[in-house]
Chains A and B, each alone.
Chain A
């Protein structure tokens, strides 16, 4: 447990110092989005990596958070912080309500149902033109502010988003090691066995679904205040798939793996740009090859690879 705390502090330090060498570079801006995606990936990983419940509609909660905050602050002039809390609670309540019927389903049926929720939400963003601006988007969303201090630069937003991300990470770490977390993993391994052992599997699944929706909604609120403009294309099926990919690449059921996945996938376009128009092919290939040869994601795969190649470095690599 002590090493866990140490790891977290080291990570905090890394987050704190990361923008310094980048001063003024646009990479700070990219890291802001890495932060948003980290929160999203973390939310999904709780559901998928720990409880083993697939969701292809995570973008719906992200979008509801973003549109909720966006509409309340730009149209109805709510205080952004109040809006963020109200929206996150409302989204969580919504998730709780649909969680019962949705999570009764398993495997590909669950995938299809969550996908359906995602598609319906996206259509709603597109069609409620009077409220959301429809496909041409919603602009004029204010930046977040504390008193007269406005989060209006990349650096300020970076600390804002990562502040939230760190809180979420801490929350997840504690959750994973709690009684609740152990229950979740039991469901993941065998739901029937977990039930027999007295875990209220159904309720727990809904609870973690709700939590994951809550976290995604917060990420949505942050995203809309950072961007100050949102449009429905950011909350479609592709986004849900991208989030899934982050977890697969980073590491299934690993808190830091989610962050790593978010970092890699958000930076990937930068790296792939050297491939010019071929980037989409490399992206697809990466997904297939990674899943076949590194099913645990980088967090588990890379240390394993290290161990095989250079036995000495094993310890270093395994610290994720």
Chain B
């Protein structure tokens, strides 16, 4: 009996002590990433980065002395699961804000959930539909596809090329790019001569490229994520396609160069600045953020940080800023997010406003070219 009392007392004291030590409960934020499944190339670096940034913030003392607790779930890129997990984060874990999901589909699926619950969401997916029209609680960090398209078209216009062929993958990423490519063509006076697609798991695109070779196109724009574009690059080389090949920001990582091999030479693509951080001038606003992200990621995961991870970096840092200014309530965070100005992150310099929840301009993209297995800036 005595033993029991002693134990109870000890436990009680311990409990009291621990409450004192953690007087300020951690601020809970949720993360939804497609860590496995077809979009894992997005979800994995995003989750890793989010966890890394949160750890760094906590190590540095948290936000105003309060720790952050990141609760992440894997959506597998399945919209139904994304909705269930968003509900779980909101109702069971009682998070004050959500980061992710990784794909446009997952993001669109959970928007009704967060809107109804009034929880701010910072999506890491690229589809411009997510924030157009503006939704009260929804923000995003991944650069809109439209900006990447604009960057390519601008270059084509500069080179007086007006006829293009487009080749897009038939998934969420590709179809969003295809929409933008078609919508903006007129603005830049560009004519789309052929509009083809390929499946995400296709292994041979010579048929589409042969068709393009037979057309009068002056450039090919391919919109997809690895490994499709690498196959396109190799097939184009096989067919001896002479016109320039443009890719999307979906392949802006070293991985693409490795996969495409020699065929990557001369390919151009719009990319977030993370790829060419060391080539940027010293006065570039983003340079400090970029270099610290790359260094941290290398230390934590022994791998190169890419711009997908950068979306999560931006999301957590934006959230940190918003909590510092607006407090730890969902409404406070949302209002502070909306007034975020001049935040120089990985994806670009963000300026949110009541009319713009994507916050970036096409300056977020730089056009790079592959030369001798490395990136160079296109002037």
Please report A residues at the B interface, Cβ cutoff 8 Å: 24-26, 29-30, 33, 126-127, 129, 134-137, 139, 152, 154, 227-231, 233-234, 269, 273, 277, 280
- Interchain CB contact under 8 A, B84 and A136: no
Interface CB pairs A-B, < 8 A, 17: A26-B90, A29-B83, A29-B87, A29-B88, A30-B87, A127-B197, A129-B175, A134-B170, A135-B105, A135-B170, A135-B172, A136-B129, A137-B105, A230-B79, A231-B109, A233-B78, A273-B73
- Interchain CB contact under 8 A, B81 and A135: no
In the complex, given contacts A26-B90, A29-B91, A229-B112, what are 8 additional A-B residue pairs having Cβ atoms less than 8 angstroms apart?
A26-B84, A26-B87, A30-B84, A134-B170, A135-B171, A136-B105, A233-B105, A277-B35
User: With A25-B92, A26-B90 known to touch, is A127 a contact of B176 (CB < 8 Å)?
Assistant: no
B310 at the A interface (CB under 8 A): no
Contacts of B309 in A (CB 8 A): none
Checking A29, A137, A269 against B79 with a beta-carbon cut-off of 8 angstroms, the contacting residue is A137
Contacts of B170 in A (CB 8 A): 126-127, 134-135
B8 to chain A, nearest CB (A): 30
B132 to chain A, nearest CB (A): 12
- Interchain CB contact under 8 A, A227 and B109: yes
Which B78-117 residues have a C-beta within 8 angstroms of A? 78-81, 83-84, 87-88, 90-92, 104-105, 108-109, 111-112, 116
Contacts of A234 in B (CB 8 A): 78-80
Contacts of A228 in B (CB 8 A): 112
- Interchain CB contact under 8 A, A229 and B108: yes
Contact with A along B43-82 (1 / 0, CB 8 A): 0000000000000000000000000000001000111110
Residue of A nearest to B81 (CB): A269
Bound state CA distance, A230 and B105, in angstroms?
8
B308 to chain A, nearest CB (A): 18
Checking B80, B91, B109 against A25 with a beta-carbon cut-off of 8 angstroms, the contacting residue is B91
Q: What secondary structure prevails in chain B residues at the interface with A? A: helix
A55 to chain B, nearest CB (A): 21
A7 to chain B, nearest CB (A): 29
User: With A26-B92, A29-B84, A231-B109 known to touch, is A136 a contact of B79 (CB < 8 Å)?
Assistant: no
- Give the number of A-B contacts (CB < 8 Å): 80
B127 at the A interface (CB under 8 A): yes
Which B166-181 residues have a C-beta within 8 angstroms of A? 170-172, 174-176, 179
Bound state CA distance, A135 and B108, in angstroms?
12
Checking B87, B90, B91, B105 against A231 with a beta-carbon cut-off of 8 angstroms, the contacting residue is B105
Residue of A nearest to B177 (CB): A136
Bound state CA distance, A41 and B197, in angstroms?
34
Contact with A along B300-327 (1 / 0, CB 8 A): 0000000000000000000000000000
Contacts of B104 in A (CB 8 A): 136-137
B215 at the A interface (CB under 8 A): no
B210 at the A interface (CB under 8 A): no
Bound state CA distance, A25 and B35, in angstroms?
25
Please report B residues at the A interface, Cβ cutoff 8 Å: 35-36, 73, 77-81, 83-84, 87-88, 90-92, 104-105, 108-109, 111-112, 116, 127, 129, 170-172, 174-176, 179, 197
B209 to chain A, nearest CB (A): 20
Residue of A nearest to B174 (CB): A135
Contacts of B179 in A (CB 8 A): 129, 136
Bound state CA distance, A233 and B36, in angstroms?
15
Contacts of A24 in B (CB 8 A): 91
Bound state CA distance, A277 and B197, in angstroms?
33
Residue of A nearest to B89 (CB): A26
Contacts of B36 in A (CB 8 A): 277, 280
Contacts of B108 in A (CB 8 A): 136-137, 139, 229, 231
Bound state CA distance, A277 and B77, in angstroms?
15
Bound state CA distance, A152 and B172, in angstroms?
27
Residue of B nearest to A230 (CB): B79
- Interchain CB contact under 8 A, A136 and B91: no
Contacts of B172 in A (CB 8 A): 135-137, 231
Bound state CA distance, A139 and B109, in angstroms?
8
Bound state CA distance, A24 and B8, in angstroms?
34
- Interchain CB contact under 8 A, B88 and A26: yes
Residue of A nearest to B90 (CB): A26
B233 to chain A, nearest CB (A): 22
User: With A126-B170, A136-B176 known to touch, is A233 a contact of B127 (CB < 8 Å)?
Assistant: no
Bound state CA distance, A227 and B73, in angstroms?
19
Contacts of A227 in B (CB 8 A): 79-80, 83, 109
B85 to chain A, nearest CB (A): 8
A52 to chain B, nearest CB (A): 29
B245 to chain A, nearest CB (A): 23
Contacts of A230 in B (CB 8 A): 79
Bound state CA distance, A231 and B88, in angstroms?
21
Bound state CA distance, A30 and B80, in angstroms?
9
Going nearest first, the 7 A-B pairs with the smallest beta carbon separation are A26-B87, A26-B91, A29-B87, A26-B88, A231-B105, A135-B175, A134-B175
A266 to chain B, nearest CB (A): 9
Contacts of B105 in A (CB 8 A): 135-137, 231, 233
